[in-house]
A and B are shown apart, each in its own frame.
Chain A
Amino acid sequence: MFRSDLSGETDRVAGNQAIPPGWSSNPSAWGQRLPIAAVATVGFAIATYLTLFQYGVVDTVWEPFFGDGSQNVLESKLSRALPVSDGSLGAAGYLADAVSGVLFGVNRWRTTPWIVVLFALAVGPLGLTSVLLVIAQPVLYGSFCTLCLVSAAISLAMIPLAVDEALASAQQLRRVKDAGGSVWQAFWHGSDTA
């Protein structure tokens, strides 16, 4: 399951290339996935810090540009629209990105499509939510929050890095379907390219 091949170009199972058919590189290679996990970890740290402010663990929040903007945004009604604060949901999202980003080996686009889809579902909606919150800050509260903008930029930057793997998985499942195989089986237990 865990392989030490960092380039992700070869597979120990004979006859199965780790690079998806028609691709120039392997989207599940560690060289592609570790940077995403690193970026997600930074996002997690920022969101955790904002959460600590929202729950009063730290008294002030770092805001170099917008005066009391961060405070206005982080204490706004919208940030508490759900039972837990939006910062804590962001932290949970980033954690899900990091964990689902590193699980399984360099063939996971084909051996465990479910984790790749889960990964994409963790990355995509987090980015979308961030953009919506960036809109809400000035429109509803007349304020910007520097670290919230940084967090939004991070979550957006993860999307193009992450979705190539989802495309490889989806193409593999389509191949299985076209060959008359069980997509359900391939989704949970993997399939061969041959």
Chain B
Amino acid sequence: MKLTRGEVAQAVVAGVGGWLMLAPSVLGHVGSDIAQSDRIVGPVVLAIGFLSIFPITRLLRWVNLLPGAWLLLAPWLLDAPTDATISSMVAGVVVLALAPVEKAPQDQYGGGWITLVRPSDRPDK
């Protein structure tokens, strides 16, 4: 089975979410504000990334731009230590870079969700 670019990219995004869940324990800053941030954003990025692996729910990938942007801001707003800052910044860059990858073909789903608002995209039209 050949993996598509989108599947790999979204799996990586999900992995970043998993890392954020672990980061406070691994980096040893449990209890700090940046740790709470990681533990809130982590499950969101993981869940959205996971769902975006699948063509039928790939549209959700755009949602991850929001936590991705927060990851770039959080270390500066929350006065994070250096290692947590690097972790958050790298995670943010990866999420922002990979979240938009990539539109999934909808030809096996009757044109996909877009046909509900734009029926002209239906293949049977």
Interface residues of A (CB under 8 A from B): 20-25, 127, 131, 134-135, 138-139, 142, 156-157, 159-160, 163-164, 167-168, 170-171, 174-175, 178
From B76-84, B91-99, B104-112, the one touching the partner chain is B104-112
By secondary structure, the A interface counts as helix
Q: Tell me if B61 counts as interface (CB < 8 A to partner A).
A: no
Would A22 and B111 be within 8 Å (CB), given that A142-B30, A160-B56, A171-B116 are in contact? Answer: yes
B31-58 Cβ-contact flags toward A at 8 Å (1 or 0): 1000010011001100100110110110
State in angstroms the CA–CA spacing of A142 and B107 once bound together. 45
By secondary structure, the B interface counts as helix
Would A135 and B119 be within 8 Å (CB), given that A159-B57, A160-B56 are in contact? Answer: no
Contact: B43 with A134, CB < 8 Å? yes
Question: Could you give 16 example pairs across A and B, Cβ below 8 Å?
Answer: A20-B110, A21-B123, A22-B107, A23-B108, A23-B110, A131-B47, A160-B51, A163-B57, A167-B56, A168-B109, A171-B110, A171-B111, A171-B116, A174-B115, A174-B119, A175-B119
Residue of A nearest to B117 (CB): A174
B44 interface neighbour in A127, A131, A157, A178, Cβ under 8 Å: A131
Residues of A contacting B122 in the complex (Cβ-Cβ under 8 angstroms): 21-22, 171, 175
Contact: A171 with B39, CB < 8 Å? no
Interface residues of B (CB under 8 A from A): 21, 24, 30-31, 36, 39-40, 43-44, 47, 50-51, 53-54, 56-57, 107-113, 115-116, 119, 122-124
Number of A-B contacts (CB under 8 A): 69
Would A24 and B108 be within 8 Å (CB), given that A135-B39, A160-B51, A160-B57 are in contact? Answer: yes
Contact: B115 with A164, CB < 8 Å? no
